[in-house]
Chain A
Amino acid sequence: MSLISETDRKKLNRRKRKAVIFSRFCAAVTWSSVLLLAVLLYQVAADGIAWLDWQFLSSFPSRFPERAGIKSAVVGTLWLISLVALISIPIGVSSALYLEEFAKPGKLNKFIEVNISNLAGVPSIVYGILGLAFFVRFFALERSLLSGALTMSLLILPVIIIASREAIRTVPMSIRYAAFSLGATRWQTTWAHVLPASFPGIMTGVILALSRAIGETAPLIMIGALTFVAFFRLVQWILLLLYPFRFITGFPGPRRNFMSWLRPGYLYF
């Protein structure tokens, strides 16, 4: 009575089975990726949490595991990140404003655009080489916090610019027209209307970029943040003792995990 023959029905069943298997496979893959994340976080946290106490946070690195701490690393990271934010946010947002609001569309603008997206794809270690040759050697800033911060700023600049441009682009033209029609200049329009309207989007991009800077290790090693400082002075030339360096120097055991575990928390924020 059926409308289709037995062989066709078999074929149809096979196709349907295939579809079901495929969808289950995709789901399984996705969930195992999520599971993997859980394993990774657990792995890092389980090792690290035992070391997490106030003493660990407030001591300097030491050769003795019981007395070792990450104070200089935490302080170094905070210093670095504040400097990077101070340098890269104004420059990045200004570039984005220029490209979106002021630049005349043309070959040069297009070229800058392509250039920025290519810069975003340059491996971070290449920025490290750049920092080593220019900031450390050429500008003679030595292996300092400042060279580290400048290098890191260059590294995250493209990310900030791209994110800010996206945010600025979402501001509707009508807002600009309204401001112009009231006699505002282009900059007044930008400052008083476009920037505030795109502010949340820009901040999202900035936070993402900064969190990348926090976790970035390679360029800093290039800059030579390895200098082992057992005490810290709040001068420029010191304490680029970011936690990851310890790892490379074979700093004893599990405390690095704690920091690395802190980091994803940061990112999540």
Chain B
Amino acid sequence: MPKKASSTISKSGRLFGESCIVLWLGACAAISLLTTAAIIGLLLKESFTFFENVSPLEFFFGTSWVPILQPSSYGVLPLLWGTLQVTIGAAIIAIPLGLACAIYLSEYASPRMRSYVKPILELLAGIPTVVYGYFALTFVTPLLRLFFPQVQVFNALSAAIVVGIMILPMIATLSDNALRAVPDSLRQGAYALGATSFEVTTKVVVPAGLSGVMASFLLAISRAIGETMAVTIAAGQTPNLTLSMFESIQTMTAYIVQVSLGDTPTGGIAYQTLFAVGALLFAITLIINIFSQWILGRYREVYD
């Protein structure tokens, strides 16, 4: 009876093999922890070296960013402002439109229609961001120039528009999920009281799904802040503290690309700026992400 023998022998072998496997699986899960530790450790360490050479005061409040040429100055405000310009512009475009899409999908569209439209929107979200940059340069900017001749080839406005287009599907699909999680009984209750579909949507459904909707806004905004290629291509490479949306600017991400395009020697200040700007970018997006998770957890209404 070889079968029986093998089963008794393999029992301890099985357990040993099992614990090896569990060890391996645990090690894999630990990689994500290591990645975070590596990112934070690296950014902190290099930023500290950077701040030994440049005072934090100059970095956070200086209004001119000339890291490579002499005389150099390291005020991050122009980059920060460039990022803000693009992000705010994108949010102004994407939040109302994205929410309207989500409302249409969850409240008005027939299930059949929804099954067509949603994948299309998701496709829009999946297009590589370089393509959006290209789209901005060859389509959006020329279009803008028809209306505003003073628009520069690289400008904040077209970057904001394409980033807005880019995050719109994200807002639409995530908010749609949140709105559809609102139970039908709430809608029916409101209709029974004589509310119109507009009132049901704005006074019952959206408030009930608000935590999910807000979280989708925040996630989209953090994505817009971290967006790199589209803004590098569309907004240009000029650190510029300006209110005008028609001029070329530079965002934090675009700066990082610019520095790494040149062959930056390790250890120079220009190399360290990479980490200082990266750390700032990381901190901003991390705070927004944590905040959105907190909103989701804190204000989530649970319906049974």
Q: A33 touching B129 by the CB < 8 A rule?
A: no
Interface residues of B in 24-54 (CB under 8 A from A): 24-26, 28-29, 31-33, 35-36, 38-39, 42-43, 46
In the complex, B115 has a CB within 8 A of chain A: no
Stretch at the interface among B57-65, B70-78, B150-158, B283-291: B283-291
Q: B29 touching A263 by the CB < 8 A rule?
A: no
Within the complex, what minimum Cβ distance (angstroms) separates B102 from chain A? 9
Contact status of A260 and B286, CB under 8 A, knowing A15-B198, A123-B226, A130-B39: no
- Of B36, B108, B253, B275, which one neighbours A26 at CB under 8 angstroms? B108
Query: Inside 8 A of B82's CB, which chain A residues have their CB?
Result: none
- Of A29, A90, A129, A256, which one neighbours B274 at CB under 8 angstroms? A129
In the complex, A40 has a CB within 8 A of chain B: yes
Within the complex, what minimum Cβ distance (angstroms) separates A117 from chain B? 7
In the complex, B127 has a CB within 8 A of chain A: yes
Closest to B17 in A: A187
Interface residues of B in 100-119 (CB under 8 A from A): 100-101, 103-105, 107-109, 117
Query: Inside 8 A of A214's CB, which chain B residues have their CB?
Result: 128
Query: Inside 8 A of A102's CB, which chain B residues have their CB?
Result: 22, 25-26
Stretch at the interface among A16-24, A49-57, A61-69, A198-206: A16-24
Q: B196 touching A16 by the CB < 8 A rule?
A: yes
- Among all A-B residue pairs, the 5 with the closest Cβ atoms: A123-B226, A215-B128, A98-B25, A26-B104, A94-B28
In the complex, A125 has a CB within 8 A of chain B: yes
Chain B binding surface, main DSSP class: helix
Q: B28 touching A30 by the CB < 8 A rule?
A: no
In the complex, B121 has a CB within 8 A of chain A: yes
Q: B108 touching A123 by the CB < 8 A rule?
A: no
Query: Inside 8 A of B289's CB, which chain A residues have their CB?
Result: 117-118, 121
In the complex, A142 has a CB within 8 A of chain B: no
In the complex, A186 has a CB within 8 A of chain B: yes
Q: B293 touching A117 by the CB < 8 A rule?
A: yes
Stretch at the interface among B84-92, B133-141, B242-250: B133-141
- Of B24, B100, B278, which one neighbours A94 at CB under 8 angstroms? B24
Query: Inside 8 A of A175's CB, which chain B residues have their CB?
Result: none
Size of interface on B: residues with Cβ below 8 Å to A: 82
Q: Among B18, B201, B253, B260, which residue has the most Cβ atoms of chain A within 10 A?
A: B260
Query: Inside 8 A of B233's CB, which chain A residues have their CB?
Result: 247-248
In the complex, A166 has a CB within 8 A of chain B: no
Q: Among B169, B198, B233, B253, which residue has the most Cβ atoms of chain A within 10 A?
A: B198
In the complex, A229 has a CB within 8 A of chain B: no
- State A125–B281 Cα separation when bound (angstroms): 9
- Of A34, A44, A124, which one neighbours B135 at CB under 8 angstroms? A44
In the complex, B225 has a CB within 8 A of chain A: yes
Interface residues of A in 25-41 (CB under 8 A from B): 25-27, 29-30, 33-34, 36-37, 39-40
Within the complex, what minimum Cβ distance (angstroms) separates A151 from chain B? 11
Query: Inside 8 A of A27's CB, which chain B residues have their CB?
Result: 104, 108-109
In the complex, B124 has a CB within 8 A of chain A: yes
In the complex, B197 has a CB within 8 A of chain A: yes
Q: B285 touching A23 by the CB < 8 A rule?
A: no
In the complex, A122 has a CB within 8 A of chain B: yes
In the complex, A241 has a CB within 8 A of chain B: no
Within the complex, what minimum Cβ distance (angstroms) separates B93 from chain A? 11
Within the complex, what minimum Cβ distance (angstroms) separates B193 from chain A? 13
Query: Per-residue 0/1 for A102-136: is the Cβ within 8 Å of any B Cβ (1 yes, 0 no)?
Result: 11000000001011111101111111111011100
- Of B32, B121, B134, B223, which one neighbours A33 at CB under 8 angstroms? B121
Within the complex, what minimum Cβ distance (angstroms) separates A213 from chain B? 10
Query: Inside 8 A of B46's CB, which chain A residues have their CB?
Result: 133
Interface residues of B in 119-133 (CB under 8 A from A): 120-121, 123-124, 126-131, 133
Query: Per-residue 0/1 for B206-243: is the Cβ within 8 Å of any A Cβ (1 yes, 0 no)?
Result: 00000000000001001101111100110000000000
- State A7–B156 Cα separation when bound (angstroms): 50
- State A132–B107 Cα separation when bound (angstroms): 47
Within the complex, what minimum Cβ distance (angstroms) separates A48 from chain B? 10
If A33-B172, A121-B286, A260-B128 are given as contacts, then 20 extra A-B residue pairs at C-beta distance below 8 Å, sorted by A number, are A18-B198, A26-B100, A26-B107, A26-B108, A30-B105, A33-B121, A36-B165, A37-B123, A40-B165, A91-B28, A112-B29, A121-B222, A126-B281, A129-B275, A161-B32, A215-B129, A217-B129, A222-B260, A244-B229, A264-B127
- Of A33, A43, A217, A264, which one neighbours B168 at CB under 8 angstroms? A33
In the complex, A185 has a CB within 8 A of chain B: yes
- State A97–B18 Cα separation when bound (angstroms): 13
Closest to A153 in B: B31
Closest to A47 in B: B138
Q: B285 touching A123 by the CB < 8 A rule?
A: yes
In the complex, B256 has a CB within 8 A of chain A: yes
Q: A99 touching B29 by the CB < 8 A rule?
A: yes
Query: Inside 8 A of A90's CB, which chain B residues have their CB?
Result: 28
